[in-house]
Structure 1
Amino acid sequence: MKKIFDEIHGYITLNDVETKLVDTSVFQRLRRIKQTSLAYIVYPGAMHSRFSHSLGNIFLANKLAQRLYSEGVITQEEIQYLRLSALLKDLGQFPFSHSIEPIFLNKNISNTYLRDLILSKNQEINEIFDEFSISLKKILDIYHGNSFISAIIDSDVDVDRMDYLVRDSMHTGVQLGSLDLDRLIDTINYGENKTIIILDKGLNSLENFYISRLHMYQSVYYHKTILGYEIQLRDIFFHLADYCCPGIFDESFLKEIISSNYFAYWDDEWIYSKLYESLVDSSVPENLKMKIKNFLDRNGPKVIYEEISFQNQGSRIEENVLKLNKYGIPESAIYPFEEAIKIIDKNRIKVRIKNKEKDLREYSSTLLNVIPSTIYIRRIYVENMYAKKARDILS
């Protein structure tokens, strides 16, 4: 048994199996992966890690589980497996989290795939599971949606999202208003297909949750400067890989570093080490070295075109990129970005009133009906040295 003090939730208690899992090298790796990737470039306090977030996950999962247990919904064994799945959920996160993940997603390699591979192949974890008679299948069933408690770990309003909203808010300083997690946990239930069922007395807390989520996507997760540096790092790492680590985008390479446990040292610092080494590597092209220096010196790309909307309107991204190319901006210096960010799925929310459930759209007296379902963000970034010329071209 161990108690760890967390800056958000206070003391978090781990039992013996959880303590041993936290002490493994592959879990300690999460101390060296920042929760919000490159957000510290804009918000200096955003230095918190996936390690502390994972502890927050288990704390909130346990709070929700204890309520469900008192209502006779789940068993003590299910509480243990829910806690374990919450704790281990982020094991497969990439260095700098989602900054470089899109490169691997193009190869059908996701952080959830890596997590499942670690749980199956890591010797330290397998020995602990054997020692405490933990079923890997039951944990994977929760992750893969084969358990009725899966939605607590992965849904529109899961414990992962609950924790990162309050944690990221505190460390960035972006104020969310009154996000009452205790009230939310006390009034939320989950139905089939990850449906969210909220008691009518908990509607205000669910409204605040979604409004907070909308604000954090706008102010932090898709902040124009933060996103620009993430895109730049992704571009640098993609081109640098041929010089520093050939084969890293191959599934076989990742399987090898997991089976050898080198994965435990594949973290943010590893990426930085490759950037530093490349600056004195004669084989690395000078233009790539310049991009690395610009990244390290916070001289990143600038937004020269932006469309943000709550409706999916026609895009001028391709047209403007072609125009920039035509008038002398090198293709390698242009970073187009388009994404539709889902905020709320209103079809999966029901309101329970006196043991009767209503679809959200039938319940008119809630802000949830007017919160936008999706944000559409389209931007064009260019390297800093071309920013003025690019703005003139598009003006």
Structure 2
Amino acid sequence: MAKEMGQLNEEKVFKDPVHRYIHVRDELIWRLIGTREFQRLRRIRQLGTTYLTFHGAEHSRFSHSLGVYEITRRIIEVFHKRPHWNEEERMLVLSAALLHDIGHGPFSHSFEKVFGVDHEDYTRAILLGETEVNEVLRMQGSDFPKKVAEVIEKTYHDKLVVSMISSQIDADRMDYLLRDAYFTGVSYGNFDLERILRVMRPMEDGAVIKASGMHAVEDYIMSRYQMYWQVYFHPVTRSAEVILSKILHRAKDLYQEGYTFKQDLTHFRSLFEGEITLEDYIKLDEGVMQYYFQIWLEEEDGILRDLCRRFLDRKLFKYSEMVSVSEVLKLSGYLEEAGIDPKYYLVIDSSSDLPYDFYRPGEKEERLPINLLKANGEVRELSRESDVVEAISGKRRTDHKLYYPADLIEKIDDSQLKRKIKHILKKDERDLR
């Protein structure tokens, strides 16, 4: 039987711009941080292509994961010796907090869409497979990796433990809002973390907030709302994601057509063939992908060359507000007539966010509510007490934009064809600077 690991002889600390210090006192956490799979997160940006919009957004999933761990550690300090909190779950929830993003791939969501992979599947594979992370977790107990996976997958029996990592006000969201605001240089994501932690209380079905802290939670909800529309869905970032996605699509299409690349596709072959192994996946990071983009600048295929140049040199697509479907079809035909392949150069991109939702049992993407604990012991759902939150509860905001290469359109020789294209786009053409 595995012997559980204890405390370090001396506390380890990481200097952190958001939390000042991240404290590690447990040997298990220290060993997990040192694993190959966790160190890989240093080479994956937290915000994907956002660095092309906000130049400071170079922070990694490594630093975010440490931040989620630190907030969780502090929540546990607040919960210590209170009813409903089981101190035996401490190492489980700290491990889950640290490892919740361990399966993310390079450029995360764009990468996943093209290759049909899911970072949650790889998180589970890393936790349960033949990895250094699994080896360390098993030192805590043979069933410990499975328990950590269950917490991250939100299937673990203790709802309080799950809510600390995955809810509408959890350690994950609180860290990424503060961290992303800091590194993008915006003020939208700031809220009073200290206050929220002070008024958080453990209950059987999840963490609740003392009613006296309601205004701090309102501020948090509005910060999240602003960050999504001012940072996460910024049209420049979306344009970069569109081009990144098209690079990967083009390379995959060429490979499947039998095109011979000048450079061996060591890191991409299994992806293109849909047979990627866990080891292949772990070897991928953003440095590897950008190396290939540099190499592909020398390929004979003009589309792949052009898309890689756009991404690396930040020559992005312009955008307009979404026109009608019939006009998009016309535009697609006009571009094809001009020798511009609409499959790679005309993209409809949609962004959607639901800043807060009340409890809708049984629905897809079911969200547990934020509950307030009143002085008399009554528990009330947040939007029933807050006019601010009630105003945005359940209201999904969606935005559609059309991206295209304005520079290539300008180079079209047929003036009549160019005029037809620009007539459709001129209604709301935007420049991406």
TM-score normalised according to structure 2 size:
0.80
Aligned to 2:124: 116
1:24-45 CA distances to partner (integer Å, 9 max, x unpaired)? 1111110010111111111111
The 1-side partners of 2:45 and 2:13 are apart by: 23
Match of 1:37 among 48, 56, 69: 48
Partner of 1:366: 387
- 8 Å CA contact 1:302–1:387 kept in 2: the answer is no
User: How many angstroms does 1:144 deviate by?
Assistant: 2.4
State the Cα deviation string for residues 110-151 of structure 1 (Å, max 9, x = none): 111111001111332232223343611221221222232111
Larger mean CA deviation between 119-128 and 354-363 belongs to 354-363
Partners of 2:189 and 2:290 lie apart in 1 by 36
* Distance across 2 between alignment mates of 1:211 and 1:88: 27
Once the two structures are superposed, the pairs formed by residues 233-244 of structure 1 within 5 Å of their partners are: 233-241=244-252, 242=255, 244=265
Whole-angstrom CA distance in 2 between matches of 1:151 and 1:157: 8
User: What secondary structure, in the 3-state scheme, does the structure 2 residue paired with 1:29 have?
Assistant: helix
SS at match of 1:252: coil
Which residue among 304, 324, 347 is the counterpart of 1:288?
Answer: 304
String of CA shifts for 1:277-313, please: whole Å, max 9, x gaps. 222344xx1122111111111111111224xxxxxxx
Distance 1:170 1:223, change over 3 A: same
The residue identity in structure 1 corresponding to 2:173 is: R
> For the Cα contact (< 8 Å) 2:151–2:162, is it kept in 1?
yes
The amino acid that maps onto 1:12 is I
Counterparts of 1:334-349 in structure 2, within 5 Å, are: 334-347=346-359, 348-349=369-370
2:365 is the counterpart of 1:356: no
2:84 to 61, 73, 76: 73
Q: Is the 8 A contact 2:168 2:370 kept in 1?
A: no
Q: Is 182-191 or 139-148 further displaced after alignment?
A: 182-191
Equivalent residue in structure 1 for 2:242, among 222, 231, 234: 231
SS of the equivalent of 2:48 reads coil
Answer yes or no: is 1:383 the counterpart of 2:396.
Answer: no
Q: 1:271 aligns with which of 289, 304, 326?
A: 289
**Separation in 2 of the partners of 1:192 and 1:222?**
36
Please list every run of 5 or more consecutive structure 2 residues that lacks an aligned counterpart in the other structure. Answer: 1-7, 256-260, 360-368, 411-417, 428-433
Higher mean alpha-carbon deviation, 317-326 vs 212-221, is at 317-326
Residue number in structure 2 paired with 1:156? 168
Q: Which amino acid is 1:7 matched to? A: P
Secondary structure at 1:370 match in 2:
helix
1:257-291 deviation per Cα after TM superposition (whole angstroms, max 9, x unaligned): x2x4x544310001101111222344xx1122111
The aligned counterpart of 1:11 is: 21
Q: Which amino acid aligns with 1:188?
A: M
- Per-residue Cα deviation, 1:4-43 (whole angstroms, up to 9, x for no partner): 1111112212221111111111111100101111111111
Q: Rate the CA distance shift 1:10–1:359 in 2: closer, same or farther, 3 A.
A: closer
How far did 1:48 drift?
A: 0.6
Structure 1 residues not aligned, in runs of 5+ = 307-315
Task: Call closer, same or farther: CA 1:362–1:119 in 2, change over 3 Å.
Answer: closer
Shift of 1:193: 7.5
Q: CA deviation at 1:321?
A: 1.4
**Matches of 1:206 and 1:174 in 2, distance apart?**
19
Distance change in 2, residues 1:328/1:250 (3 Å): closer
**Mapped pair 1:323 → 2:301:** no
What are the within-5 Å matches in structure 2 for residues 167-206 of structure 1?
167-176=179-188, 179-189=191-201, 197-206=208-217
Q: Kindly report which structure 2 residues correspond to 1:83-98, keeping only aligned pairs within 5 A, or say none.
A: 83-98=94-109
Report the CA distance shift for 1:386/1:203 in structure 2 as closer, same or farther (over 3 A). Answer: farther
**What is the CA distance between 1:209 and its match in structure 2?**
0.8
Say which is worse superposed, 58-67 or 93-102, in terms of deviation: 93-102
Report Cα offsets for 1:146-174 as digits up to 9, x if no partner.
23211111111111110000000000011
- Could you list the per-position Cα deviations for residues 182-211 of structure 1 after superposition, in whole angstroms to 9, with x for gaps in the alignment? 2112223577887x7432211111111111
2:46 counterpart SS class:
coil
Shift in alpha-carbon separation, 1:177–1:236, aligned structure 2, 3 A: closer
Does the alignment pair 1:62 with 2:73?
A: yes
State the alpha-carbon separation in 2 of the partners of residues 270 and 379 from structure 1: 30
- 2:293 and 2:328 map into 1 onto residues whose CA distance is 28
State the SS of the aligned residue for 2:392. Answer: coil
What residue is the counterpart of 2:146 in the other structure?
A: 137
Among the aligned pairs, what percent are the same residue?
A: 28
User: Is the CA contact 2:46–2:64 (under 8 Å) kept in the aligned structure 1?
Assistant: yes
In 2, Cα distance between equivalents of 1:374 and 1:190? 29
Indicate how the Cα distance of structure 1 residues 247 and 321 shifts in structure 2: closer, same or farther if over 3 A, else same: farther
Aligned mates of 2:250, 2:45 — CA distance in 1: 23
Q: Deviations over 1:87-127 (max 9, x none)?
A: 011110010122322224xx3x3111111001111332232
**Matched position secondary structure for 2:95:** helix
- TM-score calculated relative to the size of structure 1: 0.88
Q: Partners in 2 of 1:152 and 1:64 — Cα distance? A: 8
Question: In the alignment, residue 302 of structure 1 is paired with which amino acid?
Answer: K
* Partner SS state of residue 347, structure 2: strand
Kindly indicate whether the alpha-carbon contact (under 8 Å) linking 2:69 and 2:97 is maintained by their aligned counterparts in 1.
Answer: yes
Shift of 1:177: 6.9
CA distance in 1, matches of 2:56, 2:199: 32
